[in-house]
Amino acid sequence: MSSVKRIAVFTSGGDAPGMNAAIRAVVRTAVHHDLHIYGIMRGYDGMVKGEIKRLEVGDVANIIQRGGTILKTARSEAFMTAEGRKQAYETLIANDIDGVVAIGGNGTYTGAMVFMQEYNIPFVGLPGTIDNDIYGTDYTIGFDTAINTAVEAVDKIRDTADSHSRLFFVEVMGRHSGYIALHTGIASGAGAIFLPETNTSLDDLSDILRKSAKRQKLFNLVIVAEGNQNGDATEIAAKIKEKNPEYDVRVSIIGHLQRGGSPTAMDRVLASRMGHSAVQTLMRGEGGVALGVINDKITFTPFEAAISKTKSLNKELVKMAEILAT
């Protein structure tokens, strides 16, 4: 029999569609197994400040379709200090917490790993980030919704680009990872994609545009990940306009639209599977791991590996995107 009686759940870092679905799954699975479940408000900052409350099944009713996170999220400078982590530990001990489910990205995992090295309370991590850049899982919670939001926006931009024969540079999120840009570019039929992981040059883009002109293609779409090495979409657009003054160039930055909105069915199911498995993992007495889904199976990666290892883009997918754009 499991010795776990009380567990807590919190969300940390950037919000991602599907976090509420994960919270719901954690709460309902815990209640099903007669566990007490607590929600920590505003991530590690709430843990330090003692912002914790008991959750019941009714508290997570009608949230599976909502974006954002009902537990809120915040950065915590206090938790980065030994004193702050001690206060967080006292919060958990005061509420007799036996295990914690942490929903977030690499920063969240790092905090959990450091905390576990200092205190004997197990943490299990769920990958909640739209960037899809966490090692140990094919998909992160929120990624599918983010790319669907981006593709819907690009489809609408395509209409005006076509009508006015314009060259549009569309910037999507991805400071260090090109997953959103790559998938958005493929799904929207973009003429070129600028990724942080590749070295596409402005000369390469000029060649692509010239080939398009020869095919009498009067408009074009270029997807730009915000962290690519050539600059943001505005900078790239200005340089291309300088080299090719004949183009009618426009820039559109999708921005935080990608973070919000109702999660897709895929994100709801993914988050529900992970939340359910997180509770079962703690009940087995396990901790220090990040849950993931690889080849449609739940997997477990030690925090240290999830944090230190890089999740690379699929090179075949990158090559395919180049071929299909020609």
- Take residue 60 and report the two structure tokens written for it: 């997570």
Question: Is residue 82 within 8 Å of residue 279, measured between CB atoms?
Answer: no
Phi-psi region of 211 (alpha: psi -120 to 50; beta: other; left: phi over 0): alpha
DSSP 247: S
Residue 270: CB atoms within 10 A of its CB come to 26
Cα distances (Å, whole numbers) of residue 231 to 10, 183, 234: 35, 20, 8
Give the residues across from 38 on adjacent strands: 8, 54
Identify whether 131 is a catalytic site residue.
yes
Residue 107: CB atoms within 10 A of its CB come to 18
Q: How far is CA 163 from the centre of its chain?
A: 34
Distance separating alpha carbons of residues 110 and 216, to the nearest angstrom: 51
User: Which one of 131, 133, 144, 267 is the catalytic residue?
Assistant: 131
Q: Where are the beta strands (DSSP E) in the chain?
A: 6-11, 36-40, 52-55, 99-104, 123-127, 167-172, 192-194, 220-225, 249-253, 289-294, 297-302
Burial of 166 from C-beta contacts in 10 A (0-12 / 13-18 / 19+): middle
Distance separating alpha carbons of residues 7 and 235, to the nearest angstrom: 48
DSSP 262: P
Report which of 168, 210, 173 is spatially closest to residue 190, judged by C-alpha positions: 168
Active site residues: 131
